[in-house]
Amino acid sequence: MDNCIFCKIVKGDIPSKKLYEDDQVVAFYDVAPAAPVHVLVIPKEHVLESARAITSEHAALIAHIYEVIAKLADELHLDGGYRVVTNAGPDAGQTVMHLHFHLLGGKLGPMA
Ligand code: 5GP
Ligand code: ZN
């Protein structure tokens, strides 16, 4: 989609520090980390603006995203645990309207 930062990252038009890619998803480091480890996992296709639009049609994609998150958490040695966040809509502070999941690890504070 034109003018979507994450679509531009998928295409390589905006550089990013990618750590995983397959036919469905891309994972890259967040440019403004909110935790010692802060990775974004996104579908390559601009299928949904946010988690609000998820239906059973997307079950396989969402399961795959969580599978990738678990694999990355292992590879990043987040052995003590991690947090997955998806902001949906303005009240949650969502700034990029391309579905994405924040993988947060390291020393995390309590949820705000
Ligand atoms: P949201 O607030 O929409 O849930 O999260 C968007 C995230 O994208 C933010 O954490 C922000 O730092 C990150 N972000 C925005 N623009 C870029 C960019 O150009 N590159 C990377 N790597 N992350 C970005
Ligand atoms: Zn997009």
Catalytic residues: 100
Alpha helix (H) residue ranges in 33-91: 59-75
Please say whether the dihedral angle defined by the alpha carbons of residues 37, 43, 46 and 52, taken in this order, is positive or negative: negative
The answer for residues whose C-beta is within 8 angstroms of residue 36's C-beta and 6 or more apart is 105, 106, 107
Domain boundaries 5-105, corresponding CATH code = 3.30.428.10
Residue 53 — φ and ψ, nearest 5°? -95, 5
- The residues lining ligand 1, judged by C-beta closer than 6 Å to any ligand atom, are 5, 14, 16, 28-32, 40, 87, 93-96
Which of 95, 92, 27, 86 shows the shortest CA–CA distance to 54? 86
Digitized pLDDT (tens) for each residue of the chain, 112 residues in all: 889 999 999 999 999 999 999 999 999 999 999 999 999 999 999 999 999 999 999 999 999 999 999 999 999 999 999 999 999 999 999 999 999 999 999 989 888 6
- Domain boundary assignment for the chain: 5-105
Residues with Cβ within 8 Å of 107's Cβ and at least 6 positions away in sequence, in order, are 35, 36
Atom of ligand 1 nearest to the CA of 85: 4
